[in-house]
Amino acid sequence: MQRFKGKLPIIWISIFTLWAKTTFAVFYIFHIHTEDSLQVATILINPLAPLLLLMSLALLFVGKKNAAFIAIAINLAVTLLLYFNIVYYRFFNDFLTIPILLQSNNARDLGISLWKLLEPVDILFFIDIIIAFWLKGRMRAVLLFRPKVGLSLACILFFINLTTAHIDRPELLTRSFDRQMLVRNLGIYNYVVYDVLLHGQTKIRRAAASERDYDELNKHVLSDTPANPAYSSIAKGRNVFVISLESTQSFVVNEYVDEQELTPFLNDLITEKGSYYFDQFYHQTSQGKTSDSEFIIDNSLYGLPRGAVFFTNPQNKYNALPKRVKEAGYTTAVFHANNKSFWNRDVMYPALGYDHFFSEMYYTITKENSVGWGLKDADFFMQSLEYVKKLQQPFYAKFITLTNHFPFALAAKDEIIPEWNSPDGTVNRYFTTVRYQDEALKQFFDAIKASGLYDNSIFIIYGDHYGISKNHNKAMSTFLQKDITAYEYIQLQKVPMLIHVPGLEETKTVSTISGQIDVKPTILNLLGLEQGHIQFGTDLFASNREELIILRDGSFISDTYVYTNNRCYSHRTSMETNMHYCEPFFEHVKEELELSDKIIYGDLLRFAN
């Protein structure tokens, strides 16, 4: 024992602390669901192979004399990788991908939100590194670690990891859209390597695509569900207002907080003549969030399993909704008081067929009229309307709001209702900004009526994605007075979808299962334009539409069953049921997502003519 006095087996200590931090994060921050001891064992094993591999290769190339430096450097680098995923996961409930990391232009705009995601407990992920730096000059490192043995052990553990993962999920590597499953079975570090390989593969797919791929695709994507002729052309020649409500979920509609109505204007509009409300409408976004919702609605294609199409494929040819209406004589415009490069919009919008993009440079933004992510919704709508009045009619105009965005900040003078009283500040503030957004929407409608544009227009109002992530399930459970199971969390992915056509006598709430993928064919039918061949959605008014909505992670909602988090639920009872009821949907869900990916990755619409 005297021989090792004053020395530390620093390589093994670093491997152990990294393993401990990783498994803690997987179980208690990422909340990876496990069903049996095999899945638990897989999670415990999977960090070890990449950690052993990293340490062994570094020692072989850098040298054993630098063992202490190597251990500390690798510990810091791997901890940062883990921590960035932790911060990202706290809001997005997802893991970082290479396309997301390459979207560095978004980092400046995300600054306010990121600070809200940091927690005091985070220092625990770095405490071992701080101690190691402190001890580095006082105690020498003893190796007790043979790099070649480490490499052999890493290979053995990696083989064991792949074997257990294959037993649990045989088709694992073909389900790249399900990152929860990938991280559970491969581990966070092996997942990063897999993601790098996928990123490289996607660059090759466009070059390898051919006209034959498009011809084959055409056989599968042609919709056999016709649009409803009763609603065809009811808005022909009208101006189109498409309004994206930031982070707005359907549970706030017709809801009260402390006897205060959250969305009084939206509630009234739903009951007005000429209004059609879809109360079983789901967002289908993934890592692209608002940009995903824009892409899905404009194209009736799914977003990508990794990153955002706005960044990864802006050079593609699209047969998007703005392009279609533009060909029919419409002026097309987008209004969004944010940096024009955020989500690469200034590059993507021309590819989708937009004539004009009114970004933040077109608005007067001051300290008084901005909060959180930028210009307040009320000022945004009023300033936007001045540009709308100058557009040549008919026009197709999309408006993207900002105020109801995490962290849901609002000045006290703008609070119409006080914050809810719970231990969760995010949920408390959410209700306040939702109420503000609803009031801003009311003022916008009043101004449109005063401008003379109202009667000859049609309004499409929808929520872009969730606002309250599963990290706030405890507060949501208190508010909704029920447990937030995986089934209930899927129900919280419903967002408002309202079509308002002034002058019509009919008022209707439509309760068929639907989603953002269905908006493009619906608008085309309402305007009396031909449906596109390559689209995955169906007219929301179609009488015999299939009631099945697919989410980007492979979850789905039908009128009978819900599949999510590797569990099957009865839609009638909301209770978990036997998996064999959901299995008949699996192949269709997988095929549809893969076909959409093939269109985007291969840029197949360039072969349309």
Quote the DSSP letter at residue 565.
T
What is the C-alpha separation between 470 and 484, in angstroms, rounded? Answer: 9
Distances (CA, A) of 218 to 208, 468, 519, 609: 18, 38, 21, 12
- Decide if 109 contacts 18 (C-beta within 8 A): no
Q: Which own/partner contact pairs does 560-566 have at CB distance under 8 Å and 24+ positions apart?
A: 561/585, 562/487, 562/490, 563/589, 564/486, 564/487, 564/489, 564/490, 565/33, 565/180, 565/486, 566/33, 566/35, 566/181
Distance of CA 248 to the CA centre of its chain: 14
Minimal CA–CA distance to 467: which of 436, 434, 424? 434
Residue type, 173: L
What sign has the CA pseudo-torsion 521, 523, 526, 532? negative
Instruction: Report the 10 Å Cβ neighbour count for 544.
Output: 9
∠244-293-113 over CA atoms, to 5°?
75
For the chain, helix (H) and strand (E) counts, in that order, are: 22, 21
Minimal CA–CA distance to 247: which of 500, 436, 481, 485? 436
Cβ-proximal residues to 102 (8 Å cutoff; 6+ apart), any chain = 307, 311
The token pair at 401 is: 């709001």
Residue 290 annotated as catalytic: yes
Distance of CA 278 to the CA centre of its chain: 21
DSSP assignment string, 65-106: GGHHHHHHHHHHHHHHHHHHHHHHHHHHSS---HHHHT-GGG
Q: What are phi and psi of 223, to 5 degrees?
A: -75, 135
Residue type, 114: L
- Decide if 498 contacts 276 (C-beta within 8 A): yes
User: Measured in Å, how far apart are the chain's first and last C-alpha atoms?
Assistant: 79
Distance of CA 136 to the CA centre of its chain: 43
Q: What is the 3-state secondary structure (H, E, C) of 351-416?
A: HHCCCEEECHHHCCCCCCCEECCEECHHHHHHHHHHHHCCCCCCEEEEEECCCCCCCCCCCHHHCC
Q: Is 161 helix (H, G, I), strand (E, B) or coil?
A: helix
- Of the residues 22, 164, 290, 426, only one is catalytic, namely 290
The set of catalytic residues is 290
